[in-house]
Amino acid sequence: MTRVALLLSLLLAVSPSAYSAKLPDTGVSGVYEVIIGVDAAGPSIDYFAEFGFRVVAEASLSAEEAKSLYGVDSSASVYRLQNGSIDAHGLLRIIEWKAPLGPGVGFAPPETVGVRMAVMRTEDIVRLADVFGDLREQAGEPWLLAGPVYDDLYDATAGNPTISNRRVGVREMGVYGQDFNHVFFQRYGYTIPGYGTIGDHSPLRTSEFTHHDFFVSGDLDEVTAYYSDVLGFKSEDETVIDGEWQPGPKAVFQMGPGRSHWYRGFVSPNNICGKLKFFSVEGLHEVDDRSHRQRPGELGITLHSVWTPNLSMVHELAREHDIEVTDIARNEFGEESFVLSGPDGATWQVIGRDEAEKPAELEFKLVPVAN
């Protein structure tokens, strides 16, 4: 089988159109923003500019407004950042709290309940490894590098590798810090249009956030059911077990001999990007639980957002499924929204929005490239 034919056959196995579960038609966007709390926004804005993000909106909150929206008795300055022209998913919101509630999850091992990771594509993962290595070794900053490690893509390499029959795969790396955790990936031998767009505006040659990882506690089938039942995400498949026998998870999660965890993924029917990936060691191992530090008002990754043209419908579905929600109100950017607290420990702002300026990609295409 040729590389093209093999990739086309794999497309049928991974395309969102193959998922058949009955879902509410919420029009959910995929993950719109990762939202971080900081005590000084300037350094964070400068930091993310190196990855291609620029401020596209600013707002402020009084302590009274923040208390009403997020349950945090502190005033705040808020910045929305976007990478290039992608506005359907993959944005960043920075909330500078005048009086943060605490340090957040902080610098923690990858397999810590409460750890969140934001994933982006890169064109030069080795350069990123060098950059973060320098920050750790020479600047003394607390970064943990996990990888890079190479893995084949769905066993897509046909036959034995040669100089002309190069392996089709991905190299990935986790980078864990005090207030933010990255996962970077670089593709070899293929591309997916609309899934990780890189432009000249990004000095480190990185994309918008393509998907998001959550380390949670509990039975994944139970604590993540609301992503389908309420928000309208499609489950990629049944919950499966990953382990240290797999090069990617072993490296990115720093998994020792005999370690494993449960995995479940979700994707929006309306966007191939902005995916969700959940991991749990329920019934397998004991790990540190810092989920109580993952609340709004703490530092680090504390919230995420999605948008939907059917805000009232999603709000009602949440109430029907006994999911904790606030009343619908305007957020700091004047958007109709509400905050949802899930049984998995995640906090979401659900925003009412009709459409993105740049429509999301709906068809998952694995396209061979010669690299």
The pLDDT tens digits for 104-143 are: 999 999 999 999 999 999 999 999 999 999 999 999 999 9
How many Cβ atoms sit within 10 Å of the Cβ of residue 289?
14
- How high is the pLDDT of residue 8? 42
Query: pLDDT at residue 303 above 60?
Result: yes
Determine the pLDDT at residue 366: 84
Is residue 199's pLDDT more than 70?
A: yes
Given a contact cutoff of 8 angstroms between Cβ atoms, the answer to whether 55 and 81 are in contact is: yes
Can you name the residues that pair with 349 across neighbouring β-strands?
305, 339
284: pLDDT confidence band, cut at 50, 70 and 90? confident
Give a three-class secondary structure readout of the chain.
Answer: CCHHHHHHHHHHHHCHHHCCCCCCCCCCCCCCEEEEEECCHHHHHHHHHCCCEEEEEEEEECHHHHHHHHCCCCCEEEEEEEECCCCCCCEEEEEEECCCCECCCCCCCCCCECCEEEEEEECCHHHHHHHHHHHHHCCCCCCEEEEEEEEECCCCCCCCCCCCCCCCEEEEEEEECCCCEEEEEEEECEECCCCCCCCCCCCCCEEEEEEEEEECCCCHHHHCCHHHHCCCCEECCCCEEEECCCHHHHHHCCCCCCCEEEEEEEEECCEEEEEEEEEECCCCCCCCECHHHCCCCECEEEEEEEEECCHHHHHHHHHHCCCEECCCEECCCCCEEEEEECCCCCEEEEEECCCCCCCCCCCCCCEECCC
Average pLDDT score over the chain: 92
Q: Which pLDDT does position 368 carry in this prediction?
A: 84
| Residue 155 pLDDT greater than 90, yes or no | no
Is residue 54 very low, low, confident or very high in pLDDT (cuts 50, 70, 90)? very high
Q: What does DSSP say about strands 367-368 and 190-191: parallel, antiparallel, or unpaired? A: antiparallel
Query: Domains in the chain, start-ordered, CATH in brackets?
Result: 3-368 (3.10.180.10)
Distance CA 199, CA 140 (A): 30
Cβ atoms within 10 A of the Cβ of 317, count? 19
Structure tokens at 142: 């607390």
Stretch 72-82: mean pLDDT: 98
Average confidence (pLDDT) over 226-242? 94
The bridge status of strand 76-83 relative to strand 53-61 is antiparallel
Gyration radius of the chain's alpha carbons: 20
* Rounded Cα distance, 112 and 217, in Å: 9
Tokens 């864990």 found at: 176
pLDDT at 157 over 90: no
pLDDT at 21: 56
Element (H, E) at 54: strand 53-61
Distance of alpha carbon 181 from alpha carbon 174, whole angstroms: 7
Residue 306's pLDDT is 98
Q: Is 291 helix (H, G, I), strand (E, B) or coil?
A: helix
What is the pLDDT averaged over residues 6-27? 58
pLDDT band at 1 (very low <50, low <70, confident <90, very high): very low
Nearest alpha-carbon partner for 35 in 326, 336, 341, 299: 299
CA distance linking residue 31 with residue 348, whole number of Å:
10
Q: Which of 227, 208, 230, 228 is nearest to 216 (CA)?
A: 227
